[in-house]
A and B are shown apart, each in its own frame.
Chain A
């Protein structure tokens, strides 16, 4: 049954959406959308390194994202430059360097569009293995640090005063983002990954009363977007990855209208 490319595409998309929803909530709460986007952009360097070293591309991307996250933590210790400036430097240096390195592979016909915007219809069995293995790991880490990270997100000093290992929580969170970026690249591509993280979370916000509800709703809305996107891609022959993001955005628009209607009815 897994021979069907459409089924593999759907399973891959669902796997990414399930972990991207809860993780995306934290990215929204901690205002780290730019951080996520930057790490994702620099993933192209990971692709290039993967080719250069002959290792699995997903592994190359995950390793690059982790290294950049650590580098950023290190650079943040000096206070002369704001961290979004540092992020911008790292992200675009990574993207540009990746393109330059990939340019040396003349013999290799690279599908650059596939890396930038995803190639969900080409998801293979081993991709699925990566997505579900990495996704399970990421969800496990997120579940383990959930309460601590939530406390630190609300008030970092309070969390530290109560003895929570705030730095290690942040580190674990960044590593989780790196893993999810690596597994999501195949689905929507490095330029659109951040949308899989933040749009479902934003969609879920107005219907949730607790953080956990928001995480669950975000995962559900991500799964729905994958289904709708793939369906519309089939129906209209549109590119699949971007179609998923468009579907996700449509769900977000509907959620905003619904919230607005509910608010005006209750006065």
Chain B
């Protein structure tokens, strides 16, 4: 079922889940699912709505105990989790700086550095309630980075972010992976964008339909059955170059290797 090496022989694996079964009541959500994420690798979970992507992420995070199967985490593994959405009650006054200090206080220098790393240094003293979708995602990513994670887990990080923001955010995730050599597990239903910059795609529909490099998965019959033949063509979308790009506040900024980095990445 898996295209990768068997989990028990994989010394590089940060997490290795094997034969995971989860059922809610009588409906089976995950059946015999295998998933491995290695250091320095971006693995993307794709699948239609309700296919069990988020459930699998919750198993990986240890929030949900599977009925069968085992999940092994590398000893001492630190996970940085970026949840799908954060809705903060307007009655709760909170600045980005204070949010980053939860649940543990951190020195200002570390906070600023984490925000700079995600290109959101200007948010430092801003109230959270006024942030855009992209800014919120960057703040959550900065918070995850403060934990110095071996594995980043992002649940639909591109949701609620406008199109150019999605590109920028996606490139940022790739850059963070490059810089920190951490593993990345990402959930997405946005096939086009995500597949282009991913090392390995796991196509999930309660079971693992297929897994492998994006190009290979996009030609797999089960993938085509799930998403239709047009999904495969989508991969080509990201090879075009913009003549300008937007920063996250929406202003046009100078071209900086944008066209290049938007292409499907080759693994170093």
A202 to B92, CA, bound (A): 10
Decide: A150 and B63 in contact? CB cutoff 8 A: no
Decide: B83 and A209 in contact? CB cutoff 8 A: no
Contact residues in A for B83 (Cβ distance below 8 Å): 155, 157-158
Decide: A147 and B98 in contact? CB cutoff 8 A: no
Decide: B102 and A151 in contact? CB cutoff 8 A: yes
Assuming the contacts A147-B102, A150-B102, A211-B94, asked whether A161 and B79 have C-beta atoms less than 8 A apart, the reply is yes
Which residue from B62, B92, B105 sits with its C-beta under 8 Å from A211? B92
B75 within 8 A of A: no
A164 within 8 A of B: yes
A window 185-226: CB within 8 A of B: 202, 205, 208-211, 213-214
A34 within 8 A of B: no
Assuming the contacts A158-B83, A161-B63, A161-B81, asked whether A28 and B103 have C-beta atoms less than 8 A apart, the reply is no
Contact residues in B for A148 (Cβ distance below 8 Å): 103
- Nearest chain B CB to A261 CB, angstrom units: 19
Contact residues in A for B102 (Cβ distance below 8 Å): 147, 150-151, 154
- Nearest chain A CB to B47 CB, angstrom units: 20
Decide: B98 and A210 in contact? CB cutoff 8 A: yes
A160 to B63, CA, bound (A): 7
Interface of B is mostly: loop
- Nearest chain B CB to A142 CB, angstrom units: 15
- Nearest chain B CB to A3 CB, angstrom units: 42
A window 121-173: CB within 8 A of B: 147-148, 150-151, 153-155, 157-162, 164
- Nearest chain A CB to B205 CB, angstrom units: 23
Contact residues in A for B79 (Cβ distance below 8 Å): 161
B127 within 8 A of A: yes
A29 within 8 A of B: yes
Would you list the 3 A-B pairs with minimal beta carbon distance, nearest first? A161-B61, A151-B103, A208-B93
- List residues of A whose CB falls within 8 A of some B CB: 28-29, 31, 147-148, 150-151, 153-155, 157-162, 164, 202, 205, 208-211, 213-214
Q: List 15 A-B contacts (CB under 8 A).
A: A147-B103, A147-B104, A147-B105, A153-B92, A154-B86, A154-B102, A160-B63, A161-B62, A161-B63, A161-B79, A208-B93, A209-B95, A209-B127, A210-B93, A211-B92
- List residues of B whose CB falls within 8 A of some A CB: 58, 61-63, 79, 81, 83, 86, 88-89, 91-95, 98-99, 101-105, 127, 147
